[in-house]
Amino acid sequence: MRRKSIYELWLYLIVLLLVSWLVLQILILVSKIALVLIISTTGIIISTVVPTLIIMIFIKTWKKLKAQEFNILFSLLLILSTAIFGISIGLFWLPTVNHSLALISLFVSSSLFMTIVLYPFINRRQLIAKYRISEQHLIKP
C-alpha cells in the first residue's frame, strides 16, 4: 500500500473545502429562492384576499343599511367616510409621510365621519323639538 504524499492530502483537503463551499452556496441559493417564492405567494394571497374582504364587507354593510331603510346617499357617505378615515389613520402611522398633512387629512376625515354618524341623531332631535313646538297649536280634545 502506497503512502499518500503531503501534496495529495492538501489536494484532497482543498477539493473537500471547495465541494463543501459549493454545496453551501447551492443551499443558500435554494433557500433564497424558496424565501422569494414564499414571500411572493404570501403577497399575492394578501393582495387578493384583502380587497375581496373589503368588497364583501362593503356589500354586506350596504345591504344592512338598505334593510334598515337608511337613505342611499347617507349609506354611501357613511361607508366612504369610514374608508377614508381608515386610510388617513394608516397614512398617519407611515414614517415616510409628512405628518402635518396626514394630521390634516385625519382631522378632515374624522370630522366628516363624525358628522355623518351623528347627523341622524341630531336631525331626530330637531324634528322632535319642532314637533313639540307645533304640538302647542294642535286642537286639544
Encode the chain (141 residues) as per-residue pLDDT tens digits: 566 788 888 899 999 999 999 999 999 999 999 999 999 888 888 888 877 887 888 788 778 777 777 777 777 777 788 888 888 887 777 777 777 777 888 888 888 888 877 887 888 899 898 888 887 776 666
Whole-prediction pTM: 0.46
Place of cell 459549493: 22
The pLDDT score that the predictor gives to residue 27 is: 95
Neighbours of 109 (CB within 10 A): 20
CB contact at 8 A, 88 and 102? yes
The pLDDT score that the predictor gives to residue 32 is: 94
The pLDDT score that the predictor gives to residue 29 is: 95
The pLDDT score that the predictor gives to residue 26 is: 96
d(CA 127, CA 119): 12
Domain locations in the chain as residue ranges: 1-68, 70-141
The pLDDT score that the predictor gives to residue 141 is: 65
CB contact at 8 A, 116 and 81? yes
